[in-house]
Amino acid sequence: MILLEDVYFAYDGLYTALQGVSLQIDDGERIAIMGSNGAGKTTLVKHLNGLLRPDRGRVILDGVDTKHYSVAELAIQIGLVMQNPDHQLFLDSVEKEIIFSLENLGSSKEEAKERCEQTLNSLGLEGLSERSPFTLSGGERKRVALASVLATEPRVLSLDEPTIGQDARQKEKLAKMLRGLNEKGKAVIVVTHDIEFVIENFPRTVAMANGRIVADGPTNSVLSNNDVLSRCSLTRPQLTETARSLHSIFPEVPERLTLMDDLEKVVVKVLGGG
């Protein structure tokens, strides 16, 4: 559905951010993009909706090169929620914020109002529609920004660091919401450092370093690969640490476990057997 074909990009022609990146994203996928700061994650995601255009290579949406579309046109299909919600909130009510996005992308007033209500409900923001976003808490503002993009029902939703500053419960709710979107056939792409969040919710991980894709595949295998982890400056997930520690004492325990259920089974076996 979206294809990045050997994309090269340098900021100001000087600072190379992407070096030959190729990636395919299909409808309904859930992908996490991980890597150290400066690896090119956000740069990559900004190529999806045209905020940045490749210096070399192409970005192809449904068979058409995105260079034929403006950012606003692409925004209809590809939503991007940036890291800091305060970078986009400027109206005096939550409702107006969401309607603003909808009207920009072509909705009529009635349609906009209805979709706005639906979206607010789905994110637990009902009752806040008249409030000024500036009076809301940080977490609430993040959800309003998310709502304003969700309301436009893009085919692909990309989020840049959605879990920063969120507590465990908020992350769970976010994960649930993203899965729900996925079930409706939307693709969800997340740029994040939160390795636990990725392991629990994203089947596919793209690991980047120095503007290149180092690994692209099932999360469990990508994020338990030591070589990938060190090249992309990622810290080992907690459960993998546990698995490694267990493995050094009980060689029958696989080193590369990432899921709680799997680890539990293995430990029970070790204990039951002992």
Which chain residues interact with other proteins by CB under 8 A?
36-37, 46, 49, 51, 70-72, 75-76, 79-80, 82, 84, 86-90, 100-101, 104-105, 134, 137-139, 148-149, 152, 164-170, 172, 193, 195-196, 233-235, 238-239, 241-246, 248-250, 260, 263-264, 267-268, 270-271, 273-274
Task: Spell out a b/e string for 89-125, using b for 16 or more CB atoms within 10 Å of the CB, else e.
Answer: bebeebbbbbbbbbeebebeeeebbebbeebbeebeb
Q: Which is nearer to other proteins, 63 or 274 (CB)?
A: 274
Task: Report the nearest approach of other proteins to the CB of residue 196 (Å).
Answer: 8
H-assigned helices in the chain: 41-48, 71-75, 94-104, 109-122, 138-150, 168-183, 195-201, 219-222, 226-231, 238-249, 260-273
Q: Are 147 and 119 in contact (CB under 8 A)?
A: yes
Shortest distance in whole angstroms from residue 45 CB to other proteins: 10
105/213 with CB nearer other proteins: 105
Minimum Å gap between C-beta 165 and other proteins is 6
Determine the 3-state secondary structure of 189 from DSSP: strand
Least distance (Å) between residue 72 CB and other proteins: 4
Question: Which of 183/273 has CB closer to other proteins?
Answer: 273
CB of 203 to other proteins, least distance (A): 20
In Å, what is the CA distance from 96 to each residue of 56, 82, 129, 152, 209? 39, 19, 8, 14, 40
Query: For other proteins, which is the closer residue by CB, 6 or 169?
Result: 169
Q: How far is the CB of 25 from other proteins (least distance, A)?
A: 17
Closest to other proteins by CB, 66 or 152: 152
Contacts 24+ apart (CB under 8 A), 173-178: 173/124, 175/200, 175/201, 177/122, 177/123, 178/30
- What is d(CA 29, CA 17) in angstroms, rounded to the nearest whole number? 25
Q: Of 31 and 246, which CB lies nearer to other proteins in the complex structure?
A: 246
DSSP tag of 16? E
Name the minimum Å distance from CB 128 to other proteins.
Answer: 13
By C-beta, is 6 or 55 nearer to other proteins? 55
Tell me, rounded to whole angstroms, the distance of Cα 204 from its chain centroid.
11
Q: Which token pair is 195?
A: 């390795």
Tell me if residue 128 falls in helix, strand or coil: coil
